[in-house]
Each structure stands twice: as structure tokens, then as C-alpha cells.
């Protein structure tokens, strides 16, 4: 393989990648550093990426986001994505369509190399395991967004097909999360984490989840030793995120007991028929008789 100046600039920093023994952590850092949708829809060519610096920058952002849950610092969030571009990318087939239409053009008329190589080719040569995991992550996020895309209900041929506004709003939240995985920490900080949001996050970015959980565990240990703890609403969301109770107030038994306190008391069920019910039913039966039936009934009683 011919290595031009651009390729040499790419290879050099990889030797400084001190955490290359754990490629999953590197992928988490790279995703966060390059923001989900930009990295997914229009990734930069290899000769424009400093993979080592990108990875370290992203891992540092994950650590700071975890620390912010305990120290109260505000996280620096990326710009909101262009949702229309993201939706169009998914509607057109996502990463599958991108890979299907890809045609490498490294050589022209028998041998001259054009500027740069195909995306990820240099990373594949230097760190093949990283490249495999990176492409797998891109496919996973693309397919997840595609599978959760709201579809208009089937109707008659000339019906105007519209998706439900609630489904559209939920999909927009999903796109925002895909673009900024660490926004999950903002949700935790507000005490608004739901099981559904956590499922979306873990399904798209399990690498980022594991790295974030690692730093949250470290913070929990440090705060426990210092006899400090975050506010209750943050502890509740952290319990859901970590999949474990962090104090007794978040245990299922305590939550059920608290819910029962505000549940209205049920009226006791009455046993048997109320007094006088038989008489009432008899009178209703008498009133329902015709004149001939009433006379016959009276004659039988006499």
C-alpha cells in the first residue's frame, strides 16, 4: 500500500493510543467526541480524523458527564441535530443504503492513488478490531432508528397518510438522544429518566452506557466514603440507570407502601341482599302483570 502524507499523518498518532487494549472504550469515546448523527450520517474521511485525540476527548467528556451528576456542574452539550436530515437519511435506508452505494475509487487508469483512502480503510489496516466495532456500532444505531421510525397507519387509497403527533414527538426525542448520547445524564439530573429512555440509550450505545456506569460507580463509592449523597430525585434516576437500589427509599417495597398511602379506601362489600329487596322485587313483578294476569293472581290468593 502506498502511504502519502495524509495517510502518514493519520498513522502517527495511533502509536500514542495508550488504551488500545480495550477497543470498546475507544469506540465509546469516538462516538461521543464526534456526536452520534454526524458520525453516523456523514463521517469524516480518515485523513481528517485524529483517532487517538478523538477517543481521548470523548472518554474525558463521558467522565465529566458522570461527575456532573454528583458535583452539580453543567455539561457542555453539542448543537441540536437537523432532524429533517436525520429522518431523510433513515427513510432512504440509513447505513445499509450508504454501504450499498459505496464504490471505492482509490486508483485511476491503472495505478495513480487519489487523495486519501476509502473511509475506515486506514483504521482497518492499523486497528482492525476497532474498525469492526466502529462499523458494527454505526449499523446498530442506524437500524435502531429505522425500526423505531413512526409510520402512517394503513388507510384507503386516497386517504392523507399522517403519522400520530405523539409518535413523531417521541421519534424526535430519539433522534436527539442518538445525536447526543450524554444527554441521558441531563435527564438523570432532572430526575426524569424513564425505563423507555434507558432502553433506547442502551440499545443504541451500550459502549457509552458501560463507560458511563463505570464512572458513576466510582462516584458512588467516593461519595459513600465522604458520607455525601446527591438529591433524592437524582438518586431515583441513578437507581434505574444502574439497575440497583441505591438507598432503601427506592426499593419496590417502599414505593408500593407509599403508593398505598394515597390510594383511596375501598368501601366494604355488603353481604347478602339489602333488607326489603324481596318485597321491592315482588311489587315490580305485580306491576308488570296485565289486567287478566292480575285478576287471575288475585283469584288464586283468595
CB 137 within 8 A of CB 207: yes
Distance of CA 11 to the CA centre of its chain: 34
Q: Name the residue among 107, 81, 95 with its Cα closest to residue 137.
A: 95
Residues 131, 136, 137, CA angle at the centre, nearest 5°?
A: 100
Q: Is there a contact between 175 and 87 (Cβ–Cβ < 8 Å)?
A: yes
CA quadruple 50, 55, 57, 61: dihedral, nearest 10: 150
Task: State if pTM tops 0.85.
Answer: no
Contact between 106 and 45 under an 8 Å Cβ cutoff? The reply is no
pLDDT at 61: 94
pLDDT-above-90 percentage for the chain: 29
pLDDT digits (tens, 9 = 90+) for 43-53: 665 554 577 78
**Cα separation of 29 and 24, whole Å?**
9
Note the pLDDT of residue 223. 93
Residue 3's φ and ψ, nearest 5 degrees, are: -110, 110
Grid coordinates of 272:
347478602
Distance of CA 151 to the CA centre of its chain: 19
| Backbone phi, psi, residue 160, to 5° | -75, 120
What DSSP element (H or E) covers 107?
A: strand 107-108
**DSSP class per residue in 45-85:** PGGG--HHHHHHHHHHHHHHHHHHHHH-PPP-PPPPP-HHH
User: What's the CA gap between 25 and 34, in Å, rounded?
Assistant: 14
Query: What pLDDT was estimated at residue 187?
Result: 95
Q: Are 286 and 278 in contact (CB under 8 A)?
A: no
Q: What is the average pLDDT value for the chain, to the nearest integer? A: 75
Q: Which residues of the chain have pLDDT under 50?
A: 1-12, 15-20, 48, 100, 102-119
Amino acid at each position: 500500500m502506498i502511504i502519502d502524507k495524509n495517510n502518514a499523518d493519520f498513522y502517527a498518532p495511533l502509536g500514542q493510543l495508550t488504551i488500545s487494549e480495550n477497543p470498546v472504550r475507544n469506540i465509546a469515546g469516538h462516538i461521543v467526541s464526534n456526536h452520534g448523527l454526524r458520525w453516523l450520517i456523514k463521517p469524516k474521511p480518515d485523513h481528517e480524523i485524529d483517532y487517538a485525540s478523538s477517543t481521548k476527548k470523548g472518554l474525558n467528556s463521558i467522565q465529566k458527564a458522570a461527575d456532573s451528576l454528583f458535583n452539580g456542574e453543567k455539561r457542555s452539550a453539542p448543537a441540536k441535530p437537523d432532524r429533517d436530515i436525520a429522518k431523510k437519511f433513515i427513510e432512504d435506508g440509513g447505513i445499509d443504503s450508504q454501504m450499498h452505494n459505496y464504490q471505492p475509487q482509490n486508483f485511476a487508469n491503472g495505478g495513480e492513488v487519489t487523495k486519501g483512502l476509502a473511509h475506515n480503510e486506514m483504521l482497518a489496516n492499523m486497528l482492525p478490531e476497532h474498525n469492526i466495532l466502529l462499523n458494527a456500532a454505526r449499523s446498530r444505531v442506524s437500524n435502531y432508528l429505522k425500526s423505531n421510525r413512526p409510520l402512517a397507519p394503513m388507510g384507503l387509497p386516497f386517504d392523507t397518510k399522517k403519522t400520530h403527533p405523539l409518535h413523531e414527538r417521541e421519534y424526535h426525542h430519539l433522534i436527539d438522544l442518538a445525536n447526543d448520547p450524554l444527554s441521558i445524564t441531563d435527564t438523570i439530573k432532572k430526575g426524569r429518566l424513564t425505563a423507555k429512555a434507558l432502553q433506547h440509550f442502551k440499545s443504541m450505545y451500550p459502549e457509552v452506557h458501560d463507560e458511563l456506569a463505570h464512572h458513576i460507580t466510582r462516584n458512588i463509592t467516593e461519595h459513600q466514603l465522604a458520607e455525601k449523597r446527591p438529591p433524592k430525585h437524582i438518586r431515583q434516576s441513578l437507581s434505574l440507570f444502574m439497575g440497583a437500589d441505591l438507598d432503601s427509599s427506592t426499593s419496590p417495597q417502599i414505593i408500593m407502601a407509599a403508593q398505598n398511602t394515597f390510594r383511596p379506601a375501598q368501601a366494604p362489600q355488603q353481604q347478602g341482599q339489602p333488607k326489603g329487596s324481596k318485597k321491592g322485587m315482588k311489587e315490580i313483578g305485580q306491576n308488570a302483570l296485565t289486567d287478566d294476569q292480575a285478576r287471575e293472581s288475585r283469584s288464586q290468593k283468595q
